[in-house]
Amino acid sequence: MMLKSFRRAAWTAILGVLAACSTPLPPSPPPVVDKSPAPATSPAAAPAGPRDAATLTRPRSRWIAVDWLDLPGWYDDRTAELWPALLRSCDKPAPEWTRLCAQARSAAPASDAAAREWLQQHLQPWRVESLDNGAEGLVTGYFEPLVEASRTPRGSYRVPLHQPPADLAARKPYWTREQLDTLPAAKAGLRGRELAFVTDPMDVLILQIQGSGRLQLTESDGSRKLVRMAFAGHNEQPYKSVGKWLIEQGELATDQASWPAIKGWARKNPRRVQELLWSNPRVVFFREEPLPDPALGPRGAQGVPLTPGRSIAVDPLSVPYGTPVWLDTTEPLTATPLRRVVMAQDTGSAITGGVRADYFWGWGEQAEQQAGRMKQPLRMWVLWPRQP
């Protein structure tokens, strides 16, 4: 089932409002006749774009037809890595992709060069600009938390993850986070609804912000298994940013309010963690799902599993789901160039505007660190089917 995102606004949303992201697939722009020559596999022989640059206007962006040579680093990417993500998007293709998806399934490029050649033969690159002519935007990052958990309360595993209360639909809005922790009537609704227990309330918070996560779960018989906690509902209370609360309290500067900094503050101020949590009245409830293929991420807004490093969230009024996108940005902290082709497979409430993306890093500690610090300048190009 589609991952409902109270997280896909990701790390800029630590300072903003998160909301569900069931944005419907918008109509795709009409294809443009392109008589460019067939592509070659070397930069010197790359096919040119239209001689007179064509333009397509979408509700929140403008696309400008360009040459393949305009994509910085195009010939340096491990392009064949895109194929599994592309084929997953082909499970739910936009109308313009139906014909190409049939060809992509039989293509099976054996090398990066072969993958690039296929893309160049069938697609036309378009530079994405905001409607005010700006070609530079913003990329943030998100991830799927991975948390140790126990099926039963034991030792330090005392903080519960809950499935939706039986009376959730009968009370709108439902109890706030503070009320669920303190009022007997509110606590009664959660009794017996525990799915698992973790050691740190901040882990519960990040699972709720991201809307999904993995648990390395220890069962009551001592066996261990990897499961996914998927979004199953929320209490319909407003989301309040804990990062913004810390800034207002004078505990963090605005440019310090990353998730690693917020976790660091919680470790240093254990007596105020409850106060921090109660500043956000929204509570997300979960359901447990099996994880038959640990290499796949949660389902994005397109309804297909996300691929670490090859899936992004976009504004679907700028870029349709299932579209290959060329990114030109840098990695957080190191400023190493991050230039690669990815698939637009997700969205989020803070992911709005023409040149805007949220990069899916995957799961685990390294993904958390990268996603928590990512807020980089971005340029992007969509790769759209050529007209037959």
DSSP 294-352: TTS--B-TTSSB--TTTEEEE-TTTS-TT-EEEEEEE-TTT--EEEEEEEEEE--TT--
Task: Tokens 């069938």: give the residue.
Answer: 122
Record: fold of 144-290:
Ribosomal Protein L25; Chain P (2.40.240)
Query: Does residue 4 register a pLDDT over 90?
Result: no
Q: What is the pLDDT confidence band of residue 365, given thresholds at 50, 70 and 90?
A: confident
pLDDT tens by residue, 178-202: 999 999 999 999 999 999 999 999 9
Query: Does residue 303 register a pLDDT over 90?
Result: yes
pLDDT tens by residue, 55-91: 999 999 999 999 999 999 999 999 999 999 999 999 9
Contact between 259 and 205 under an 8 Å Cβ cutoff? The reply is no
Query: Does residue 8 register a pLDDT over 80?
Result: no
Task: Tokens 């994880």: give the residue.
Answer: 291
Average pLDDT over residues 355-371: 93
Residues of the chain within CATH 2.40.240.50 domain(s) are: 144-290
Query: Does residue 293 register a pLDDT over 80?
Result: yes
- Domain 14-24+52-141+299-385 top-level CATH class: mainly beta
Query: Does residue 10 register a pLDDT over 70?
Result: no
Q: What is the pLDDT confidence band of residue 255, given thresholds at 50, 70 and 90?
A: confident
Q: State the burial class of residue 44 (Cβ atoms within 10 Å of its Cβ: 0-12, 13-18, 19+).
A: exposed
pLDDT of residue 26: 36
Handedness of CA 315, 318, 321, 324 (dihedral sign): negative
DSSP strands (E only) in the chain: 55-58, 61-65, 123-129, 137-144, 146-150, 159-162, 194-198, 212-218, 224-234, 284-290, 311-314, 324-330, 337-346, 356-363, 375-385
Query: Does residue 25 register a pLDDT over 50?
Result: no
pLDDT of residue 14: 53
pLDDT of residue 19: 31
pLDDT of residue 339: 98
Q: What is the pLDDT confidence band of residue 256, given thresholds at 50, 70 and 90?
A: confident
Query: Does residue 42 register a pLDDT over 90?
Result: no
pLDDT of residue 257: 81
Residues of the chain within CATH 2.40.40.10 domain(s) are: 14-24+52-141+299-385
Average pLDDT over residues 17-39: 35
pLDDT tens by residue, 257-275: 888 899 999 999 999 999 9
pLDDT of residue 155: 96
pLDDT of residue 49: 46
pLDDT tens by residue, 91-145: 999 899 999 999 999 998 999 999 999 999 999 999 999 998 799 999 999 999 9
Average pLDDT over residues 2-11: 42
What mean pLDDT, rounded, does the chain reach? 87
